[in-house]
Amino acid sequence: MSSPLYPSSEDDPRVNWELGETVAELRQRREKWRADQRRSNDHDGRELPSPKVIRDAVGSLTQALFPMRLGPADLREESEDFFVGYTLDVALNALFDQARLELDYSARRRGVSECPQERRGRAEDILQGFARALPDIRARLDEDILAAYQGDPAALSVDEVLLCYPGVEAVIHHRLAHYFYTSGLPMIARIISEHAHSATGIDIHPGATIGRSFFIDHGTGVVIGETAIIGDRVRIYQAVTLGAKRFPANEAGHLEKGLERHPIVEDDVVIYAGATILGRITIGRGTVIGGNVWLTRSVPPGSSVTQACLQDGQPIQQIKEL
């Protein structure tokens, strides 16, 4: 086959890569992996959800949520409802197929004998619920966008915030991903959140619970863990980590799953750039966490936590109740 840059000819024949042995060895590697992972061969076609299909569907969802700002350039208000309806129909059908794949995969892994029609019904129920939840998700996102506009003196309009701010893009994806995570489709949820992570540099696990009017300013390097709980009107800046302090292992040496290991951040908290908050601790309502603070213990409401002084050349953390 010719390349557009280097078309083949009789004077410049294409190379024969002799791929037969490589293809055979790659099949051997796949078969070994499947055997090691105890994968069965009783399914037909694709086994796992497709990241590309999910990314495309979520792109369509964001256009349907904000059609005149994120939709097609030639969209007009008189055709807005038609566009939203058609776009949602296509996106929901695509996600329905991916949900069925994930439910089938999960049932095989757990050895569940649930019939395919029951899983199909579960997938349909999840997507029906998601469709009904979209107006509320849009209302939550409106609050997030307004919080970003009000919280950043450099923002000239709410439209600029929606079109340009990576923190807003990450939160849009999180609001969508969190629905699927809590509905029993964690792989689809993780694909959505990791797409936002790669696009924005902001890593929010879809399991994190985030309240209203949430604003991430700048955003690069922010990490929010799976079991983090964030209240209303919280603002955080770049390179903030809400992470785990330790990772307990079970008797077999494997990390334990599902432990509540990330912080609880109450309402009206501000966390400045570079702060690292680890473990299942509580940051009390109205607290301000200064830049580059390393925090592993709870602080009461209304506190100010800073690295404001030095002792023997090392920063000393100060906690003051305001």
Among 95-99, 160-164, 200-204, 258-262, the range scoring the smallest mean pLDDT is: 258-262
**47-202 topology per CATH:** serine acetyltransferase, domain 1 (1.10.3130)
CA distance 273 to 307: 12
For residue 116, what pLDDT is reported? Answer: 84
Residue 282's H or E segment, with its range, is strand 282-283
| Whole-number pLDDT of residue 236 | 98
Residue 257's pLDDT is 82
* Numbered ranges of CATH 1.10.3130.10 in the chain: 47-202
pTM of the model: 0.87
With a cut of 80, say whether residue 113 has pLDDT above it.
no
115 falls in which pLDDT band (50, 70, 90)? confident
What count of other Cβ atoms lies within 10 Å of the Cβ of residue 141?
20
pLDDT at 235: 98
Q: Is the pLDDT of residue 3 over 70?
A: no
CATH superfamily of 221-248+259-322: Hexapeptide repeat proteins (2.160.10.10)
With a pLDDT cut of 90, the percent of the chain lying above it is: 77
Range(s) of the chain covered by CATH 2.160.10.10: 221-248+259-322
Which residue type sits at 108?
Answer: R
d(CA 293, CA 236): 13
Per-residue pLDDT tens for 227-249?
999 999 999 999 999 999 988 88
